[in-house]
Chain A
């Protein structure tokens, strides 16, 4: 009896110890997991605050500095007589990274231009013109519409609207009706709206002919006659020139804004050399020097690049008729 009681009591003590051991282990695990959770929250939380500090707290709401339409269809925004670095922005309206650039740094550009700290040169391009529809057609239609908006000195606002409403890549978007509506949102006169609407309709027809029939046929012929390898090295304007001599008359593009943006894109590829060569969008140049992504795609980076550059010269001529204001 006595030994039995001792055995039981030993058993109880052993069980008790086991229990305590398990509890201690559970506590240790909880402690460690808790510490890990704190580390994760700290890194994510502090990091998020730091990254967000790069974004402007408030958007630019001041008056836009004067815009001047250029002969090649690009638009210069700067204070009168500003002596400041020239910031060239090459963007395709269907390019998602361009949309991110615009959302992040669109206001940084406006602010710098408004303060006379920068001469902003918007140079829309269509690097997607040779992609399959609807990527190509979206890109060209939007580019032509932005050019039409520039005729009525509404390029900058319209540029913003296009990026805000960028369709998901691969989906039909920038429809003629949408393009008209967004222009209406900029508060044009009735006459301006009429002219814009008509122009956008005409351009949409050109775009549809170009991306739907003309370019596929031309591309196929070129593939057969000069080979995919050479074709891959040709910019679109070279391909069009080749087509003109080989039974693909591209004259229906003459005088259209669609043709103009294709030409502007071709010229962008040959304008810069070496490390500064234009390869993709968005491409941002300060006085002809290409900014890397870490600079162009952060607000602080872009600001500093502008601050540290000297005055520059715009390399295009203003449109003869005084900016196309009608």
Chain B
């Protein structure tokens, strides 16, 4: 919980350089991931189409798919806001990374069942022509986003964060 945000070895030059660079790297991850999540949420509008993208995975009953279609973009916006303002940075990063893992699982399951769908990650979604699926790209993208979230969760200390004002991850 509090290991990495304390300086382990202030004497070593390597350690101090990392200490100087890491907060800015975390800030970059925060802003990048927030932008991705925000764009993903907005492109899923209107919710009727988002519901359709969820239904295409054929994993949930109609009502559950509907609920996910409506609330997932909102949840993405909420995470984006937390990352942007730097509130509960570590946990927002971890949850974002976890969300990406869930997305990857969904895409892998669609792939394994031989569905021909668009992941609906950034709007769109639903059936595509066989051979026009982009599962590999979607998974690679999600891995990269998960890595951003993981970095934030491991090294939450960053400038311009509400956490700092509240005395966390200084």
Q: A36-B82, A36-B88, A43-B74 are in contact. Are A29 and B168 (CB under 8 A)?
A: yes
A87 CB to nearest B CB, Å: 17
* Beta-carbon contacts under 8 Å, B79-102 to A: 79, 81-82, 87-88, 91-92
A132-B129 Cα distance, complex, nearest whole Å: 9
**Contact residues in B for A32 (Cβ distance below 8 Å):** 87-88, 162-163, 166, 168
In chain B, what residue has the closest Cβ to A31?
B166
Partner of B81, one of A43, A103, A135, A293: A43
A138 CB to nearest B CB, Å: 12
Partner of B87, one of A25, A36, A298: A36
Q: A52-B70, A294-B45 are in contact. Are A28 and B168 (CB under 8 A)?
A: yes
Partner of B48, one of A29, A40, A43, A297: A297
A18 CB to nearest B CB, Å: 13
**Contact residues in B for A96 (Cβ distance below 8 Å):** 52, 55-56, 126-127
**Contact residues in A for B87 (Cβ distance below 8 Å):** 32, 35-36, 39
A28 lies within 8 A of B71 (CB): no
- Per-position 1/0 for B47-64, Cβ under 8 A of A: 111011001101000000
Q: In terms of DSSP, what is the predominant structure of the interface of chain A?
A: helix
**Contact residues in A for B55 (Cβ distance below 8 Å):** 96, 168
* Beta-carbon contacts under 8 Å, A15-52 to B: 25, 28-29, 31-33, 35-36, 39-40, 43-44, 47-48, 51-52
Chain B: interface residue total (CB-CB under 8 A): 36
* Beta-carbon contacts under 8 Å, A100-140 to B: 100-101, 103-104, 131-132, 135
**Contact residues in B for A170 (Cβ distance below 8 Å):** 115-116, 127
Taking residues whose C-beta sits less than 8 angstroms from the other chain, chain A's interface range is 20 to 34
A35 lies within 8 A of B88 (CB): yes
B116 lies within 8 A of A48 (CB): no
A193 CB to nearest B CB, Å: 29
* Beta-carbon contacts under 8 Å, A197-237 to B: none
**Contact residues in A for B168 (Cβ distance below 8 Å):** 28-29, 32
In chain B, what residue has the closest Cβ to A298?
B46
Partner of A44, one of B46, B78, B127: B78
* Beta-carbon contacts under 8 Å, B86-128 to A: 87-88, 91-92, 115-116, 126-127
- Per-position 1/0 for A130-159, Cβ under 8 A of B: 011001000000000000000000000000
**Contact residues in A for B126 (Cβ distance below 8 Å):** 96-97, 169
**Contact residues in A for B11 (Cβ distance below 8 Å):** none
**6 additional contacts (CB under 8 A) given A32-B166, A43-B75, A43-B78:** A29-B168, A35-B87, A36-B87, A39-B81, A39-B82, A170-B116
Closest 8 CB pairs of A and B: A36-B88, A47-B74, A43-B78, A40-B78, A100-B48, A297-B46, A297-B48, A44-B74
List chain B positions with a Cβ less than 8 A from chain A.
1-2, 45-49, 51-52, 55-56, 58, 70-71, 74-75, 77-79, 81-82, 87-88, 91-92, 115-116, 126-127, 129-130, 162-163, 166-168
